[in-house]
Chain A
Amino acid sequence: MSFIDERKALTREKRLSTLSNYDGSLKSLEDEIGGADIKQKIRTLTQSAYDEILYALQTLSTMEDTAIIVHGVIGCAASVLFHNRNRRVHWYSTNLNERDTILGGDEKLRNTVIRAYEETNAKLIFIVGTPVVAINNDDVNSVILELEDEIDAKIISVTTDGFKTKTPVTGYDIVLHGLLRHVVDRRAINMQEKKDFVNVVSLSENRENIAAIVAILRDLGIEYQLLPQYADVRAIERAGEARATITLDPDEGGYFAEELEEVFGVKYIKTSVPVGLRGTRHLILTLAGELGIEERAKQYIEKQEEKAQSILHRKPLNGKSVFLDINLASAIHFTDLIEKLGGEVSGLTIPYVDLKNRENFKKLSSINNAVPVVIANGQIFEKANILSKKRPDYYIGSGSQVGFAAGEESTAVSLKNAGYLGYSGLYSFADLIVRAGTVKNSHIQKSAASVYKESWMKKSSNWYVKQEVK
């Protein structure tokens, strides 16, 4: 069923019964989510965490030809300072004050849209919703209606609010929904023959990882366009003309790929997250099969895998236990990679599980099903509790803050800016592990003193995870 005619993207909870709070064993989780629906849980103690506004801002900041208007109080635009470090982002705050929270900020919004249009060359102007305008029910759409004939740029409402979902990845859906509805050229719907290029959907992959995948596509001579990251408006407009779509992380980009398939007839090729030899091979072979270049692809893979053997033989994780904190889709092949490098996954943290990605747990069969599993967006206090008891040799995390693990005497490895996708990722990940091992017991580790009480560390880590009562 397509969602393209809906005014807003649904939250992940509504669309897929997404569960963001859990703490137990792999076995107990599988029992918990095996039914027709997934029961919601809550935490009665929480720490700050990314919300869908932050995810939407991050994605919008990586796109070309855009201006972002954060419609709210000035602080709601603060994180864009971070995204603006390495590239120029055009962003504005409507800078609402106390009076506007009572009387509404429509006039300010109107002025800011006009201003953004006049000051930038933006072809797309995004209006990002925040708690204040959501609570006040400010009428963003009537401002858009009024201005869309006046200015020569598309104005798109990003219907985030910061409190209707526990799953920040909903922010990606909201942005992608806006692009599907307003930017992707609908003339492509009836196109008889699609063009000879592939959409590569990327939302959260870092620079190193994108470079690794781009290198593979180039080596194989596959025409592609990356989106929405690094995309200009033209790339998004012609997404419907592509021969096929792949996503670097199906949990993030799947929404876009499915809609492109259903509405625009662009085939969605379901590939693995290209982690390790197995994940990368799966992505290349599946894509090559679709494009009719299997032979070339097989030769390429053979050559690359032969080169990679030397790394695998070295086994930098030999005999080590690893606590892995990463998206479920990536965890499958990451687990395999860790095992190939000689290590063993002794604990797992993922941000969410839902009706769609839950089948991935079957692919984690090599992990002992008694290992602890936490489902959380952030919530370091709970992860620290488990680490203090399990004492894994390594904590490998993709989140913003892995330093706490050092405080619990694990070797902390951050995947935030590290490459781990594709073939070059294999080398850089192995290097990262070797280097991280030498940081153990260093001064920076000792500086990471725990803020948590001893008594908490002795409690069961799932103390504050409860069944939701509606």
Chain B
Amino acid sequence: MLTSVKSPRNGCGLHGALQTVTEIKGIVPIVHANAGCAIQNYLADKSSGQVGSAVSGEEIFSTDALERHVIFGGASRLREQIKNTIKVAEADLYIVLNSCESAMVGDDVEAMTRESREQGEQVIECLTAGFHGDSHYGYEAVVSDILKKIKLVKEVEKEKNDRLVNIFGVLPHKDIYFKGDLEEIKRILEGIGIKVNTFFGADGSVEDFSKASGAALNIVFSKWGREPARFLSEEYSIPTTEWNSIPTGPEEVSEFLYEISGKLGIDEETARRSAQKEKDEFAYYLKGIRDSFYEEFAGRSVAVVGDESTVVKVAGYLKNYLDADIRIAVVTDYFGKAELSAEEKAETVAGLAREVYFTQDSKEIQDILIHSSVDLVLGSSLDRQAVEEKGTVGLDISYPVYGKAIMNRTYSGMHGALTLTEDYLTAIREADSLKEKRLLEYIRQDSAKEGE
């Protein structure tokens, strides 16, 4: 049985679907729910520095279901809403997302969208009742459903493009740096002549979904991307390669380049040249901090809190490149349809940290962090708040992030590794100056006592 959650950082299935579709250019969502469902998500996202780039908050069309729709059913209200939304909003694709309310009432959402399709309208649906799972599940469900149903309303690509790949498992908003992450993945792959379907971000759009069937490869960067990739593999025989996080650091990027070029039949020389360039650039920057690294930064103890793929990425990089001692790792997305067995859990994060926990409860996480003695907490703002009183310094890697506006920053790939290094070292210096201050206070107190 799921237990209660203190200060929940994850929303529901509908929220995950909204975080996803509001980042796809050309999609207009029609939420079949009571008025506030989408606003709950809007406020949560707003507190975390980014809302939908396509539509957001009060712009999102919604049936705003009332008591009579609960009692007598809301299907006819939905029909009316679909019809009118099409007349008012410009879109390449309309997607109906339902809610706990409409699922409990039993509204036949599919019948309503089918009716619109029969009239030639581009309307599909995804059943995202909040109680089916959390926001991660919402991403998985909605991306899979768009891929499955887009052929009902649009021509999908039949020609194979042997240089096109699909990217899955980078979750809008839940991965707080998803835009920058996708740009970095794209940059790396374009370096060896590959075209990238990112679906989201500045270059992503509905069109990516109709082109996805023509891709030569699915690249999955977290477990939440498995389901959409599996569908494309079964339906269009597109092979999938799965990574447990976005490759971060020159070695990882290099391995990634060789692997992908191998799978796409790109000659090894191209991969080698590109990998070398990434490595050289990284080495150039690292050289500039070499002495400070040994004097100030090596061997720091840290705790890493976040979604599995984020934890694997950040902890792995800090450990392998910056000699961090990863005392604690907390994985906050271990549940739902992709629930892992104990063995699988242990395997994913094996060797990454001295202690590994699986929880999304902010009180449990607070207790873990407070009783640890780490120099640095990398997590969400909730985790940073938890250790504020202890004076522990933190870094933002997980949802939600307060007090920060986010555009295209990334902690992934090679450029992201440099930014992460920058921020990590800055945070350590901040921690050290705090320590200095506290030491001074101790000494002052002791001297004052002697003077009495």
Contact = CB atoms under 8 A, between A and B. Distances in A.
Interface string B77-97: 000110011011111000000
A49 interface: yes
B402 A456 contact: no
Choose among B60, B64, B400, B403 the residue with the greatest number of A CB atoms under 10 Å from its CB. B64
A433 to B, nearest CB: 24
Given A79-B43, A132-B100, A451-B89, A54 B36 contact: yes
Contact of A45 (B60, B61, B402): B61
B39 A51 contact: yes
A104 interface: no
B310 interface: no
Interface string A47-79: 111111110000000000000010011111111
A27 to B, nearest CB: 27
Contacts of A75: 11-15, 37, 40-41, 130, 134-135
Interface string A262-297: 000000000000000000000000000000000000
Interface in B107-140: 129-132, 134-135
Contacts of A119: 6, 363
Given A54-B39, A163-B69, A135 B101 contact: yes
Contacts of B2: 95, 97
B105 interface: yes
Nearest to A376: B58
B67 A164 contact: yes
Contacts of B62: 46-49
Interface in A84-122: 84-85, 88-98, 100-101, 108, 111-112, 115, 119
A10 interface: no
B47 A82 contact: yes
A81 interface: yes
Q: How large is the interface on A (under 10, 10 to 19, 20 to 34, 35 or more residues)?
A: 35 or more
Given A96-B131, A98-B132, A45 B4 contact: no
Contacts of B385: 88
Nearest to A43: B64
A78 B8 contact: yes
Nearest to B7: A91
Contact of A101 (B8, B70, B104, B382): B104
Contact of A453 (B90, B101, B129, B382): B90
Given A51-B39, A85-B47, A108-B3, A74 B12 contact: yes
A46 B42 CA distance: 17
Contact of B58 (A88, A89, A400): A400
Interface in B7-44: 7-15, 28, 31, 34-44
Given A44-B84, A82-B46, A98-B131, A135 B105 contact: yes
Nearest to B13: A75
Contacts of A74: 5, 8, 10-12, 130, 134
B66 interface: yes
A147 to B, nearest CB: 14
B48 interface: yes
B63 interface: yes
Contacts of A54: 36, 39-40, 43
Contacts of B238: none
B12 A73 contact: yes
A221 B237 CA distance: 78
A112 B4 contact: yes
Interface string B132-172: 10110000000000000000000000000000000000000
A48 B38 CA distance: 6
Interface stretch (A192-200, A236-244, A377-385): A377-385
B8 A95 contact: yes
Question: Which of A91, A112, A166, A400 has the largest count of B CB atoms less than 10 A from its CB?
Answer: A400
B87 A456 contact: yes
Nearest to B9: A81
Contacts of B81: 44-46
Contacts of B326: none
A464 interface: yes
Interface string B375-393: 0000001100100000000
Contacts of A162: 34-37, 101
Nearest to A44: B80
Contacts of B80: 44-45
A378 B36 CA distance: 11
A163 B69 CA distance: 9
Interface in B169-197: none
A386 B69 CA distance: 30
B403 A51 contact: no
A420 interface: no
Contacts of B130: 73-76, 132
A404 interface: yes
Contacts of A94: 4
Contacts of A453: 87-90
A86 to B, nearest CB: 8
A332 B6 CA distance: 43
A34 interface: no
A81 B48 CA distance: 9
A61 to B, nearest CB: 11
A131 interface: yes
B58 A93 contact: no
A162 B64 CA distance: 9
B5 A78 contact: no
Interface in A438-470: 451-453, 455-456, 464
Contacts of B64: 46, 48-49, 166
Nearest to B62: A48
B70 A163 contact: yes
A79 B6 contact: no
Contact of A378 (B8, B55, B58, B403): B58
Nearest to B28: A451
Nearest to A109: B4
Interface in A127-154: 131-132, 135-136
A163 B66 contact: yes
B57 A73 contact: no
A319 interface: no
A168 B64 CA distance: 12
B33 to A, nearest CB: 8
A8 B240 CA distance: 56
A373 B262 CA distance: 64
Contact of A163 (B40, B65, B363): B65
A384 to B, nearest CB: 9
Nearest to A76: B40
Contacts of B70: 131, 135, 163
Interface of B: 1-15, 28, 31, 34-44, 46-48, 55-67, 69-70, 80-81, 84-85, 87-91, 99-101, 104-105, 129-132, 134-135, 363, 381-382, 385, 400, 402-403
15 contacts: A74-B11, A75-B40, A78-B15, A81-B48, A92-B7, A97-B131, A100-B131, A108-B1, A132-B131, A135-B70, A378-B58, A399-B58, A401-B59, A451-B90, A452-B90
Interface of A: 44-54, 69, 72-82, 84-85, 88-98, 100-101, 108, 111-112, 115, 119, 131-132, 135-136, 162-164, 166, 168, 377-381, 399-401, 404, 451-453, 455-456, 464
Given A75-B134, A81-B9, A401-B59, 11 more contacts: A48-B42, A49-B58, A54-B39, A75-B15, A89-B7, A98-B132, A101-B104, A400-B58, A452-B90, A453-B89, A456-B88
Closest 7 CB pairs of A and B: A75-B12, A51-B36, A45-B84, A48-B38, A82-B43, A112-B4, A79-B43
